[in-house]
Amino acid sequence: MIAWLRGTVVAKGAESAVIETAGVGYEVFLCEPSLEALGPEGALAEVFIAESISMYGGTALYGFRSREEKLLFDLLRDAVPNTGAKKALDYLGKAVRSLPDFTAAVAARDPKPLTAIFGFTAKTAEKLIAALKDKLPASGLAAPSGPLSGAAAGYSQAMSALTALGFRAGEARAALEEAAAEAGPRAGAEAIIRLALKRLSPK
């Protein structure tokens, strides 16, 4: 079983990269953020590997920049109902925006950051929480106790501020989801509130 690769990126595609090591080129599938961070063709790459046997035969290799990413991929694939390797990689691509915030949201059983910050649908967010909430501690991925960090904290603060201003929770949440998507994962509460207020203000 291949567990780790270190070699040269000889080709990159939309979903995978070919990494040459010891004269052999391995096609490795990565989530979009990890593929972008892998570097250009000719760069040295180091990736953890998970193997997956296709239902049509053959073995596919999935790559990860850290042990934590691989652990979460394995957990998503094995614990979330109706989730194969490709779907788990899609989920991982959203979660790696901030693994601490993702695990904190799941541990808190709070779907709001999962939809507004990470881009999951409400149905998928609930499914992830139901499947992972009791498995994160045993996996070693459980978030430390305390407030959410980064974008998730910004979202939580922004939601509290808008409801304090008198906006209904439903309309505030919708505006925040759009604002958070526009602002990006590193945005703080002030930036998210400013964009959300533009959407909530009368035309």
Q: Is residue 71 part of a domain?
A: no
pLDDT at 55: 66
How high does pLDDT run on average in the chain?
A: 84
* Domain C-terminal end among 65, 88, 108: 65
pLDDT at 119: 82
Band (pLDDT 50/70/90 cuts) for residue 189 is low
Q: Is residue 92 part of a domain?
A: no
pLDDT at 154: 62
Q: Is residue 73 part of a domain?
A: no
Same structural domain for residues 34 and 107?
Answer: no
Band (pLDDT 50/70/90 cuts) for residue 137 is low
Q: Tell me the CATH number at 60.
A: 2.40.50.140
Same structural domain for residues 105 and 162?
Answer: yes
Instruction: Give the highest mean pLDDT range of 81-90, 91-100, 141-150.
Output: 81-90
Largest CA distance in the chain: 64
Average pLDDT over residues 136-163: 62
Same structural domain for residues 109 and 176?
Answer: yes
Number of domains in the chain: 2
What percent of the chain shows pLDDT beyond 90? 43
Same structural domain for residues 46 and 118?
Answer: no
pLDDT at 136: 79
Q: Is residue 187 part of a domain?
A: yes
CA–CA distance, 121 with 202 (Å, rounded to integer): 27
Contact 73, 30 (CB under 8 A): no
Average pLDDT over residues 11-22: 95
* Domain C-terminal end among 16, 47, 65: 65
Q: Is residue 76 part of a domain?
A: no
Report angle CA 76, 34, 118 to the nearest 5 degrees.
Answer: 55
Same structural domain for residues 51 and 123?
Answer: no
Q: Is residue 81 part of a domain?
A: no
pLDDT above 90 (res 64) = yes
pLDDT at 10: 97
pLDDT above 70 (res 153) = no
Same structural domain for residues 49 and 134?
Answer: no
Phi then psi dihedrals of residue 74, to 5 deg = -60, -40
Give the residue with greater pLDDT, 107 vs 123.
123
Same structural domain for residues 28 and 119?
Answer: no
Same structural domain for residues 112 and 22?
Answer: no
Phi then psi dihedrals of residue 147, to 5 deg = -70, 160
pLDDT in tens, 165-179: 888 767 877 787 777
Same structural domain for residues 27 and 109?
Answer: no
Same structural domain for residues 47 and 114?
Answer: no
pLDDT at 145: 45
Band (pLDDT 50/70/90 cuts) for residue 4 is very high
pLDDT at 156: 63
pLDDT at 152: 58
Q: Is residue 74 part of a domain?
A: no
Question: How many other CB atoms sit within 10 Å of the CB of residue 121?
Answer: 11
Same structural domain for residues 104 and 35?
Answer: no
pLDDT at 142: 58
Same structural domain for residues 46 and 134?
Answer: no
Domain span at 60 = 4-65
Q: Is residue 78 part of a domain?
A: no
pLDDT at 146: 47
